[in-house]
Amino acid sequence: MRGNLGLFVSSADRARLATIVGDRNGPQKQAQRAHVVLLTADRRGAAEIMRRTGLSKPSVWRWQQRYIEAGGDDLLCDKTRPSRIPKLAEEKVAEVVRLTLDEPPRADATHWTMRAMAAKSGVSMAMVHRIWQENGLAPHRFRQFELSNDPAFASKVEDVIGLYVDPPAHAVVLSIDEQAINTFIQTHNEKPKPFAWRADPKTIIAAAKRGHQALETIH
């Protein structure tokens, strides 16, 4: 052990650390750290602590020092490491969100792609993906409504809305998706299947005979 560490463990801390060491269902790393402190408090040498905990000498020294500086609570948590991903300025994040929602992409595109947004905003594709994910944006799922260029479009809209708002007496107003109907017609009516007998000849002849006999019985 490195000289006099000045490591003192109170009776309350000792009981708490002993519980952590004895908990077989708890995290192993916490049990190892608690064991280091208890063995150090019992004046065990570094070689014995290493052998009994399975930790390296630098690890033993680190947890001895951590306990001296911060106490038992510091043994139960790992120090967070700074993120390697640089934080983007709030103005740039706001710009990406605004472009995604308000400004359409080039004329021949239906929605923003990560590559196009990265080129437009000057940030990486990974950062664009991160901004979209954090703000719940999915440009490929956006649905847009386009106005018709029909001169009578406005009056037609008023007529349709009027049917919903004030329908005629005893009338039922239904809304039908014309596109689905057109798709069905194109799929089934433009290529109709020819009629074909599916029964075998013997079954057909037998049915014809029964019908003929029934007619003779009537007459």
State the Cα–Cα distance between residues 84 and 200, nearest whole angstrom: 75
Assign 51 a pLDDT band (cuts: 50, 70, 90).
Answer: very high
C-alpha 27/C-alpha 7 separation (Å) is 24
CA 61, CA 36: separation in Å to the nearest integer? 9
Q: Which of 5-9, 93-97, 115-119 has the lowest mean pLDDT?
A: 5-9
Q: What is residue 50's predicted lDDT score, i.e. its pLDDT?
A: 92
Yes or no: say if 58 and 50 are a contact pair by the CB < 8 Å rule. no
State yes or no: pLDDT of 82 exceeds 80. Answer: no
- Residues 36-48 have pLDDT tens digits of 989 988 888 889 9
Contacts of 36 (CB under 8 A, 6+ apart): 49, 53, 55, 59, 60, 63, 64, 67
Domain boundaries, the chain: 11-76, 90-141
DSSP 110-147: SS--HHHHHHHHTS-HHHHHHHHHHTT--GGG------
